[in-house]
Structure 1
Amino acid sequence: MARVDTHVLVVNAGSSSLKLRVLSPDDEVTAGADLPAPRGAADSADIRKAIESFGRVDAVGHRVVHGGTLYAAPVLIDAEVRRGIESLTDLAPLHQPKSLAALDAVSAVLPGAPAVACFDTAFHATIGDAAATYALPAEWRARWTLRRYGFHGLSHAYASRRVAELLGAPPDAPDGLRVVTCHLGAGASLAAVLSGRSADTTMGFTPLEGLVMATRSGTVDPGLVLWLEDHAGTPSAELGEALEYRSGLAGLAGTSDMREVLSRAAAGDPRAVLGRDVYLHRLRASIGAMAAAMDGLDAIVFTGGVGENSAEIRIRAAAGLGFLGVRVDESRNAENGADDYDIGADGTRVRAFVIAAREDKQIAGEVRSVLAR
């Protein structure tokens, strides 16, 4: 990515907090704050106070969850782009309003600083039609653009680029490199990254599809959902709330905290054992599917809160991937190093890494790239 001498304020609006980080031209974090946002928006006075304490800020990068088919790359924000982002609210009703609230609040403090929208869906815009298309009636797909968008793209983009660096591949053209990036956190998804471009991913039209997550169900049979609505009389709003907030590990094990799940499973708690095993079964199966999308695998990356911090999940996941050539060294895996590190066993064909999730670096790089055009 092109670099300019720019200090970038990275704005990440989450479900209950607003994360602000200032990155220097060398991607060092020079200032930051995590502000509470209990109703989806942080207090404007707190935002102003934080930003005014940060010192130099030349540009702003906003993480925006959904770019739909409008935005397949980062874009300089103007009034038209803001309207475009707002028009996608129906596709991400839980996330888009928070991003817009943060955009407006930060712009009020820094009206002269260029602001760039960086989209979590954009990295997956390169997915081919075979992977992106749902087998639904053509008139539905034409009317509503029903397709698989994928999410966590900023994390997948950074992790795949970082592992290419560690493997010595050219940073802008890692030709032929086949990487499965595993973003495992409260939300979780995989990406098949071929030659630096997303070829497939596990999340789809919404972030509910794919892996078992902390409170989200991941993929379920749509017929099951229809049965609950038609035969059990479950209202659609209740179905949505249950699939989003009361499923996943929380529904299986009674807790959404992977650390607690593993601790209880080690003590023989049957619900926790089931939760752990269902999580791993779906994870291993999906890694296999991502490898198949690239006709093989050269490296696997674990990132995100669970991916970075749970040596047990990494070793158990790898234990079912020997057929792909994945083998993890137990002592390296147990180290939980502070930096990005290799956990693969010596002599294995497929390399395995733990990479710290740094969406802030990815966003700062995208901001500089847009400004350098």
Structure 2
Amino acid sequence: MTTAGLDDERIILCLNSGSSSVKFALFQCREPKERLLARGAVERIGLQAGLLRVLGPAKEILAELNRDFADHNVAVHAALDALASLNLPRPEAVGHRLVHGGAERDSPTIVDPRLLADLKKLIAFAPLHLPAEIKGIEAVSRRFPGILQVACFDTAFHRRLPEMAQRFPLPRTIWDHGVRKYGFHGLSYEYILDVLGEAARGRTIIAHLGNGASMAAVRDGQPLDTTMGFTPTGGLMMGTRCGDLDPGILLYLFREKGRSVAGIEDLVNHQSGLLGVSGISSDMKTLLEMKNNDPRASLAVEMFCYHARKHIGALAAVLEGLETLVFTGGIGERAAPVRRSVCRGLAYLGIKLDPALNESHAGTISTAGSSCKVLVVPTDEDLMIARHTYNVSSDREGPGRSSSRDGTGKH
């Protein structure tokens, strides 16, 4: 995990701030492994009937609170109050998941005024995510003035992509303005590669399939390409996002149908994907349950799998072959019918699924004779954030600090 000493134990809080929710996890980090103490979420921030729930390591409910949470500051303080009321240790450092770090940030970074200023300049690149994430950082600063905070960027992993993969076929001046493929889900990809270890050597495609979905082509640990592009809207078909789209469609909607920029943004991010095609739901589990009786659900599921299968073929071309295919994310880990459909027709890449292993969500779901190994690996982005934050805090402060239950930081 790091070069810190064996007795260098730290309590790390991980925060993932969304537009109307805050997810959190508390870890006890000590070489060579980490221990989850609690995780939870505050939901419906800024709306009526908010919910705060804290779960233990075995997913048992430790605390639950139904009330309104006016903003992210109130939500973060409520989450910290709930953790303190459970006599859990106060965090010594806080790691934040940030969807975007721009072109220059290629590793976890200590939060300071300069970083915050840089993040605010990037809001135009990620207007749906960065404002809430910045609010989460500011809320922690109010609760624990001076505490070490570390920004962990979903884009950092992809900064090692070859320039050819990062560029769009647009004029050079557009590149100079920062328009390029940034890629996302980087923390998930980092975690999967950590889990795979030596098994990640060779040509690997990691398919992070969830409500947001993307894939990455990795060779010997080096990313070569990814499906998401300038924003998390591009690439694969997703729960409510359209994925790759002919830009002429957007011009047509704007010019001929009078769609506003805000309307088009809502269309491609919140009305499309599984929800848009089915007209029923963005939830894959719901659509799988309905697909045999509702042709709209069936079409949405099959389109999702078709687009995923097509992107695997494209990324295999980038890799010049394929030795390992990894499914992760909520759909990738738990939807056996989706894995089966995605892999159908990929025998030319050496992919042969074992039906029984696939249905049981085994770690390896390919047959013994499959030249391409197909794996199911649960991701844990919170744990990746905890590891990054532990490493940064250890490098900054040196070994020897221990966790403390003194002071809840209550306001």
Fold match by TM threshold 0.5: yes
Using the TM superposition, name which of 70-79 and 43-52 deviates more. Answer: 43-52
Q: Which of these residues, 339, 352, 358, is aligned with residue 380 of structure 2?
A: 358
Distance 1:225 1:189 in 2: 22
Distance 1:3 1:305 in 2: 33
Match of 2:11 in 1: 7
Counterpart secondary structure, 1:139: helix
**Is the alpha carbon distance of 1:263 and 1:51 closer, same or farther for their aligned partners in structure 2, counting shifts above 3 Å?**
closer
Q: Which of these residues, 138, 163, 171, is aligned with residue 129 of structure 1?
A: 163
How far 1:12 sits from its partner (Å)?
1.1
**Is the alpha carbon distance of 1:347 and 1:2 closer, same or farther for their aligned partners in structure 2, counting shifts above 3 Å?**
same
**Is the alpha carbon distance of 1:278 and 1:32 closer, same or farther for their aligned partners in structure 2, counting shifts above 3 Å?**
closer
Q: Which has the larger radius of gyration?
A: 2
Match of 1:186 in 2: 211
Counterpart secondary structure, 1:62: strand
Distance 1:34 1:9 in 2: 13
1:31 paired with 2:38, answer yes
Q: Which of these residues, 91, 108, 128, is aligned with residue 142 of structure 2?
A: 108
Counterpart secondary structure, 2:174: helix
CA contact (8 A) 2:84 2:90 kept: no
1:50 paired with 2:54, answer no
1:81 paired with 2:115, answer yes
In structure 1, give the amino acid aligned to 2:193: S
**Is the alpha carbon distance of 1:214 and 1:139 closer, same or farther for their aligned partners in structure 2, counting shifts above 3 Å?**
same
Counterpart secondary structure, 1:7: strand
Q: Which of these residues, 182, 185, 188, is aligned with residue 149 of structure 1?
A: 182
Q: Could you give the per-residue CA deviations for residues 154-209 of structure 1, whole angstroms, max 9, x where no partner exists?
A: 011111321x23xx44xxxx5x4221111111110001111112211000001111
Q: Number of residue pairs matched?
A: 360
Q: Could you give the per-residue CA deviations for residues 322-363 of structure 1, whole angstroms, max 9, x where no partner exists?
A: 1111111111111135xxx11111121211111112001111
Gaps of 5+ in 1: none
CA contact (8 A) 2:10 2:28 kept: yes
Counterpart secondary structure, 2:22: strand
The percentage of counterpart residues that share the same residue type is: 37
CA contact (8 A) 1:161 1:196 kept: no
Q: Please report the TM-score for the alignment, with normalisation by the length of structure 2.
A: 0.84
- Alignment of structure 1 residues 1-373 onto 2, 5 Å: 1-2=1-2, 4=4, 5-25=9-29, 26-39=33-46, 41=72, 43-53=75-85, 54-142=88-176, 144-162=177-195, 164-165=196-197, 168-169=198-199, 176-254=201-279, 255-267=281-293, 269-336=294-361, 341-373=363-395
Q: Could you give the per-residue CA deviations for residues 232-278 of structure 1, whole angstroms, max 9, x where no partner exists?
A: 222222111111111101110121111122222222x2212211121
How far 1:213 sits from its partner (Å)?
0.4
CA contact (8 A) 1:44 1:105 kept: yes
Distance 1:198 1:283 in 2: 18
How far 1:368 sits from its partner (Å)?
2.3
Distance 1:15 1:323 in 2: 42
CA contact (8 A) 1:6 1:24 kept: yes
In structure 2, give the amino acid aligned to 1:307: G
In structure 2, give the amino acid aligned to 1:46: A
Indicate the RMSD between aligned Cα atoms, in angstroms.
1.7
Gaps of 5+ in 2: 47-70, 396-411
